[in-house]
């Protein structure tokens, strides 16, 4: 098992997904999303995932979003900031089955939109708070992994092309970092608050 994606909530708890390392074993539904509290107690929050990716919270801090990439879903949960509990899982956004790629990491802007990387699809989608695609950034490589805000710039990471013979045009910029001015800022990120 290895860690994949992580994020810190408004109370300073660290959430991290673990999965089978593809170099050792093909990912199966053994993945777990853990929550590490400031007192260093570890909690299993979501089980039976496959490739846990983006984790984040709504502008009002009442919802938590979570990506399990092979399902092509961004899930949403009710989130209790005081206790760190999640409940009432629903599909917030489903990436169409007939399109290339899967949802990966995401960032949330101050208007509550999710900017979601589509790994294998060469783009970032801007998804409104009601789960509709309202924008798209097309990039010159397929393996887009995660966006992150710095001011009103969206920095977008990518990975090496996994199928270079099949997608030779994707190879040149695979592993590159891109910057796009999107005209809106991102939600502030939080730090882990370990109890002394």
Looking at the annotation, which residues are catalytic? 104
C-alpha distances in angstroms, 165 versus 23, 50, 141, 161, 168? 20, 27, 14, 9, 6
Local structure of residue 41 (DSSP, 8 states): -
Reported as half-sphere exposure (CB side, CA atoms, 13 A), residue 51 has a value of 16
- Sign of the alpha-carbon torsion through 169, 99, 52, 77: positive
What DSSP letter does each residue of 5-24 carry, written as one string? EEEE-TTS-EEEEEE--TTT
């Amino acid at each position: 098992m290895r860690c994949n994606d992580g994020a810190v909530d408004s109370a300073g708890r660290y959430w991290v997904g673990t999965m089978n390392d593809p170099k050792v074993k093909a990912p199966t539904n053994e993945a777990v999303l853990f929550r590490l509290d400031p007192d260093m107690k570890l909690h299993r929050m979501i089980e039976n995932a496959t490739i846990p990716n983006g984790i984040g919270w709504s502008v009002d801090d009442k919802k938590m979003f979570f990506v399990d990439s092979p399902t092509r879903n961004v899930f949403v949960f009710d989130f209790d900031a005081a206790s760190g509990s999640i409940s009432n899982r629903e599909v917030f956004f489903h990436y169409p089955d007939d399109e290339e790629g899967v949802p990966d990491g995401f960032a949330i802007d101050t208007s509550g939109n999710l900017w979601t990387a589509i790994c294998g699809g060469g783009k970032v989608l801007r998804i409104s708070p009601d789960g509709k695609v309202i924008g798209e950034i097309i990039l010159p490589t397929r393996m887009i992994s995660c966006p992150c805000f710095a001011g009103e710039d969206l920095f977008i990471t990518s990975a090496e092309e996994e199928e270079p013979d099949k997608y030779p045009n994707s190879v040149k910029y695979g592993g590159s970092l891109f910057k796009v001015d999107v005209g809106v800022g991102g939600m502030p990120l939080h730090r882990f608050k370990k109890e002394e």
